[in-house]
A and B are shown apart, each in its own frame.
Chain A
């Protein structure tokens, strides 16, 4: 038994060492494989701090997201989720280390940053009646622009199941349809890191599941995703890792079944969580045929949602 415990400790120590190596290598711009899975750290933040009007709203947050991984950011309202996402996307002034694909994010020009990291807001501020395809084409701005009828735009629209309303004015779309168009715009950027601010908040259950399925398939293609998530069950089912914020500080970070647990979250939300685990989503790197099957189901659920959305 003692030998077994010692092995666990050694493993834990090795994992911790590897974690540090990964971050160091990410800063140096090298790909790293922390667990032999061919994953590379895409975005690292250390000691991230954001001040607004002299008040610290985010303090000492450490984040590391690998390619192929979906990191869910949890926390009650006002915990600083949106602030963290905006800071990670380089859209808010912040201090602390912030490294994107081995380069200090703050040294990148707006165009360089937009090519590498895409931000999907909860709602767009667009009030002009551009066609959905035109909005998606705006995602190509940092890559020299594209016609709303270009292949990149069509592919992005098809990927989120928004082809049916490509020519409709963005402002006339339902909130769920608008959300899909914003996701398509992010896909059109070809950025390998996606930061999403509560992408499923305005969606119904079916649409939300379809969106999470899409996010999983994007991660499976090697993208790194960070998403603020409201539903604890969603975080447990779809995320690879979960980061919990409270009052602008990190409360916990780890794998979903450990973090999304009653002892940790009850004080935050003031409610008791049931411990009956929801079905886990297949991890990245699982059997390829199984994933293909999942993807096919994802696509069909997207199409179904699409018909519902455009009806």
Chain B
């Protein structure tokens, strides 16, 4: 794991070159793969517009979830943490569902396209604050995962309740179910333009807090002794993770494991420093989710496979592998 500075610089150059090449390949695949042929001149413009929005939505959602994963992992000092495992994405999805349910009955002061992301933001923020409050005095991996599991189950159960309530109205029921299933197939330019500033701000802020998060990896006491205002760091990290997750969920629904898989894959190349990891995770997360979206279109089936199914199939085995490896390391340490 020892890396000399010149090796580290060369590794960074290689990493970003690789990521840009992958991004270009995924973008090309995303524009060309799917039902309908670009050779058809009548369809070409429409297809390019739809696929462009879809590519942008999946890329932004992936970038947001991956960076959110990096930040919660730093905040909780645990590489097993990610917004989906901790219940943050489920909280955001519940917030979005509640807003959808309330829309027909309440005159909101904002447009409906904006109301759903705001609901997601509040849901994500509340779930993260609940988690941080419950985990204030422990950093034990099992407690962390169990707490995340409980919160996630609670929010998913409440989400199912909301979905069942919505079935009284056909249109509302469809909207809530479509939102719950997730996926970027219905994402339009409006959604992308609304989410874009949130994702950029979230990534920028995560980069900005990077040095403080590096110090927090040594523990709260050491971070404080070196000058980090830990309560402020925890609060703002929660706010920005919630913003990122809300933007991602409003674009692609409850997509799991991106925040876990991407930082894990990138750490051997980018290292543990948040200032190096955040930009790489933004690119890597975008590439990963855009590639998963291409897969949903490429696999022949009746209709498209939901995006969350593909990320789950990749993420769940990796999560198990990481969990077993961490437990083994803990056992070896005694």
Contact = CB atoms under 8 A, between A and B. Distances in A.
B2 A131 contact: yes
B1 A129 contact: yes
Interface stretch (A7-15, A107-115, A236-244): A107-115
A109 B226 CA distance: 11
Contacts of B221: 86, 91, 119, 121, 125
Contacts of B271: 130
Contacts of B1: 129, 169, 171-172
A126 B77 CA distance: 9
Interface stretch (B101-109, B209-217, B242-250): B209-217
A230 B214 CA distance: 32
Contacts of A119: 221-222, 225
B224 A110 contact: yes
Nearest to A119: B225
B227 A115 contact: yes
B10 interface: no
Given A127-B217, A169-B2, A114 B226 contact: yes
B76 to A, nearest CB: 12
Contacts of B222: 119, 121, 124-126
Contact of B227 (A89, A110, A128): A110
A126 to B, nearest CB: 4
B205 interface: no
A269 interface: no
Contacts of B149: none
B226 A189 contact: yes
Nearest to A86: B221
A142 B218 contact: no
- Give the one of B1, B77, B229 with max A CB within 10 A: B1
A167 B217 contact: no
B269 interface: no
Contacts of A127: 77, 217
A180 B171 CA distance: 66
B5 A167 contact: yes
B331 interface: no
Contacts of A86: 221
Contact of A129 (B215, B226, B229, B272): B272
Contact of B5 (A109, A121, A141, A148): A148
Nearest to A169: B1
A176 interface: no
A149 interface: yes
Contacts of A131: 2-3
A118 interface: yes
Decide if the interface of chain B is mainly helix, strand, loop or mixed. Answer: loop
A307 interface: no
Contacts of A128: 217, 272
Interface string B273-301: 10000000000000000000000000000
B138 to A, nearest CB: 14
A112 to B, nearest CB: 8
B219 interface: yes
B273 A134 contact: yes
B291 to A, nearest CB: 28
B322 to A, nearest CB: 14
B225 A141 contact: no
B4 A167 contact: yes
B309 interface: no
Contacts of B314: none
B172 interface: no
A148 B275 CA distance: 14
B225 A118 contact: yes
Contact of A111 (B2, B3, B77, B227): B227
Given A124-B218, A126-B218, A128-B272, A172 B2 contact: yes
A80 interface: no
Given A91-B224, A110-B224, A141 B215 contact: yes
Interface of B: 1-5, 77, 211-212, 214-215, 217-219, 221-222, 224-230, 271-273
6 contacts: A91-B224, A110-B227, A119-B225, A121-B225, A138-B226, A149-B5
A-B pairs with the 8 shortest C-beta distances? A125-B219, A142-B227, A114-B227, A119-B225, A128-B272, A126-B218, A169-B1, A129-B1
